[in-house]
Amino acid sequence: MVELPLTHIRCPACNEDQARPGYDKQGFSIVQCRRCTLRYVNPRPSRTWLDAWYQRAYFSPSHDNAAGAQHLLHEAVKTATARLRLQLLSPAGPKGRLLDIGCGGGFFVRAAAAVGWDAMGLEPSVEAARHAARTQHIRVVAGRSEETPFVDDRFDVITLFDVLEHVFCPRTCLTEARRLLAPDGKLVIETPNMAGWLPRVMGTRHPWIRPPEHLTYFTPPTLRLLLAQCGLRVEQLHGRTTKVLTLEYVLALLTQTNPLLTTLLRGTIGRWKPLSRYPFSVPLDTMLAVASPSSQERSA
Ligand SMILES: [Zn+2]
C-alpha cells in the first residue's frame, strides 16, 4: 500500500459497509461491495490529498501521471466528442442554463455555448480552469464538484462527463448536482461501464482501473442505485457510447497504465504520424445516463 492519508469509506452506491477484499493495483486496495456488487478503492486518499494530487500531477505535462494534461492537449477530439454529446440535449425550444461540472479544458462548454446554451463550467483544478477560460473564452469557476460555490443558481442541464469515477464521494457529488438542477432539469452522466465486454475480459489490467485517478467503478445497476438514492430518476441509460479518438490520444493515455502495450503499439502503428492523428469514432464501454429529479423530490 502507498504511504499517504487514507480514509475508510462506506460503499459509494448503497452506503453499506460490507465489502469483501479484492486486489491491489498501483498501491491501492480495490474492494467489492457484497450487497450491491460495486467495486471501489477502499480505503481511499483523503479529499485534501486528492485536491493536492490533481493540482500537482493531473494537469502538469511534466508529471508521469498527467492524463488531464493530455485532455487539454487534444482539443480537436474532445470538441468532436462534445458535439456528439450535445445531440442528446437538442431541445426544439429555447436553450437554458447549462453547467458542465469537471469541465477540464472547457471544450464541451464552448461547444454548448456555440449552439445557444447559456453555458458555464466548474473545474476543481485552478490551472485547468484558467487554461479553459483563456483558450476557450468561456465562463468557468474553480471549485469542487462535491461542494460547489453556487448558492441560488439553478441549471436546466448539468453534465458530469468522466467525473464521477474520479471524485472522493460520488454520493455527495450527485446530491449537490441534484440541488443545483431546475425542477425540470436534466443531469447527464458519462462514466466507464465496468460491466462492458472489454473491462470484463481484461479484468484488473483494464486501463480504466487506474487509482488514484479512478476510485469508483460503476456498472449500470450500481449507477442506477446511486442515482435513485440521490433523488434522481433515470430517463435513459446507454451501456456503450461513441467517442471520437485518435491513436495518438489513446497512446498518450495508455502510457501511464500499460507501458508495455503502448511501446508495442507505438513501434508499429504509431510511427505513421498522419494515421495516428486521424480522428475516428468508436463505441466504447462507457455509460451515458440522463436523469431528472424524481417526482417525490420535485414536489418537495
Ligand atoms: Zn454497495
Q: Tell me how far the alpha carbon of residue 289 lies from the centroid of ligand 1, in angstroms.
A: 19
Where does the pLDDT of residue 167 fall: very low under 50, low under 70, confident under 90, or very high at 90 and above? Answer: very high
Residue 26 lies inside a defined structural domain of this protein: no
For residues 265 and 246, give the distance between their C-alpha atoms in angstroms, rounded to a whole number.
13
Measured between its terminal Cα atoms, the distance across the chain in Å is 45
Q: Tell me how far the alpha carbon of residue 37 lies from the centroid of ligand 1, in angstroms.
A: 6
Report the CATH number at residue 127: 3.40.50.150
Residue 279 lies inside a defined structural domain of this protein: yes
Element (H, E) at 245: strand 241-245
Residue 2 lies inside a defined structural domain of this protein: no
Where does the pLDDT of residue 27 fall: very low under 50, low under 70, confident under 90, or very high at 90 and above? Answer: very high
* Of 257 and 189, the one with more pLDDT: 189
Residue 56 lies inside a defined structural domain of this protein: no
Q: Give the residue from 134, 128, 55, 119 showing the smallest Cα distance to 82.
A: 119
Write out the three cell numbers for 268: 508499429
Residue with cell string 470484463: 200
Q: Tell me how far the alpha carbon of residue 200 lies from the centroid of ligand 1, in angstroms.
A: 19
Q: Tell me how far the alpha carbon of residue 18 lies from the centroid of ligand 1, in angstroms.
A: 7
Q: Tell me how far the alpha carbon of residue 36 lies from the centroid of ligand 1, in angstroms.
A: 4
3-17, 61-75, 76-90, 114-128: which range is least confident on average?
A: 61-75
Instruction: Identify the pLDDT of residue 53.
Output: 84
Structural domain span for residue 113 = 71-299
Q: Tell me how far the alpha carbon of residue 249 lies from the centroid of ligand 1, in angstroms.
A: 34
Residue 62 lies inside a defined structural domain of this protein: no
HEC-encoded secondary structure of 124-155: CCHHHHHHHHHHHCCEEEECECCECCCCCCCE
29-43, 72-86, 182-196: which range is least confident on average?
A: 72-86
Residue 276 lies inside a defined structural domain of this protein: yes
Q: Tell me how far the alpha carbon of residue 112 lies from the centroid of ligand 1, in angstroms.
A: 35
Write out the three cell numbers for 36: 450491491
Instruction: Identify the pLDDT of residue 276.
Output: 75
Give mean pLDDT, residues 217-224.
98
Domain count for the chain: 1
Contact 50, 212 (CB under 8 A): yes
Q: Tell me how far the alpha carbon of residue 190 lies from the centroid of ligand 1, in angstroms.
A: 20
Give mean pLDDT, residues 288-298.
83
Q: Tell me how far the alpha carbon of residue 224 lies from the centroid of ligand 1, in angstroms.
A: 12
Average pLDDT, the chain: 88
Q: Tell me how far the alpha carbon of residue 35 lies from the centroid of ligand 1, in angstroms.
A: 5
Instruction: Identify the pLDDT of residue 261.
Output: 73
Residue 198 lies inside a defined structural domain of this protein: yes
Instruction: Reply yes or no on whether the pLDDT at 73 is more than 80.
Output: no
For residues 24 and 30, give the distance between their C-alpha atoms in angstroms, rounded to a whole number.
6
Q: Tell me how far the alpha carbon of residue 222 lies from the centroid of ligand 1, in angstroms.
A: 8
List Cα–Cα distances, 107 to 3, 75, 133, 179, 279, in angstroms: 36, 7, 10, 25, 16
Instruction: Reply yes or no on whether the pLDDT at 111 is more than 70.
Output: yes
Report the predicted TM-score, pTM, of the whole model to 2 decimal places: 0.89
Instruction: Identify the pLDDT of residue 260.
Output: 75
Contact 216, 170 (CB under 8 A): yes
57-61, 113-117, 128-132, 272-276: which range is least confident on average?
A: 57-61
Q: Tell me how far the alpha carbon of residue 13 lies from the centroid of ligand 1, in angstroms.
A: 5
Give mean pLDDT, residues 98-116.
95
Residue 149 lies inside a defined structural domain of this protein: yes
Q: Which of 72-76, 234-238, 252-256, 263-267 has maximum average pLDDT? A: 234-238
Give mean pLDDT, residues 116-134.
92
Where does the pLDDT of residue 257 fall: very low under 50, low under 70, confident under 90, or very high at 90 and above? Answer: low
Amino acid at 12: P
Instruction: Reply yes or no on whether the pLDDT at 155 is more than 50.
Output: yes
Q: Give the residue from 207, 208, 211, 230 showing the smallest Cα distance to 219.
A: 208
Q: Tell me how far the alpha carbon of residue 218 lies from the centroid of ligand 1, in angstroms.
A: 11
Q: Tell me how far the alpha carbon of residue 98 lies from the centroid of ligand 1, in angstroms.
A: 31
Instruction: Identify the pLDDT of residue 175.
Output: 97
Where does the pLDDT of residue 256 fall: very low under 50, low under 70, confident under 90, or very high at 90 and above? Answer: low
Instruction: Reply yes or no on whether the pLDDT at 48 is more than 60.
Output: yes
Report helix angle 247-257 to 259-268, nearest 10. Answer: 150
Q: Tell me how far the alpha carbon of residue 169 lies from the centroid of ligand 1, in angstroms.
A: 13
Instruction: Identify the pLDDT of residue 254.
Output: 72
Instruction: Identify the pLDDT of residue 62.
Output: 56
For residues 150 and 152, give the distance between their C-alpha atoms in angstroms, rounded to a whole number.
6
Q: Tell me how far the alpha carbon of residue 34 lies from the centroid of ligand 1, in angstroms.
A: 7
Q: Which of 2-6, 41-45, 292-296 has maximum average pLDDT? A: 41-45
* Of 68 and 9, the one with more pLDDT: 9
Q: Tell me how far the alpha carbon of residue 155 lies from the centroid of ligand 1, in angstroms.
A: 30
Q: Tell me how far the alpha carbon of residue 1 lies from the centroid of ligand 1, in angstroms.
A: 23
Instruction: Identify the pLDDT of residue 299.
Output: 45
- Using only C-alpha atoms, what is the Rg of the chain? 19
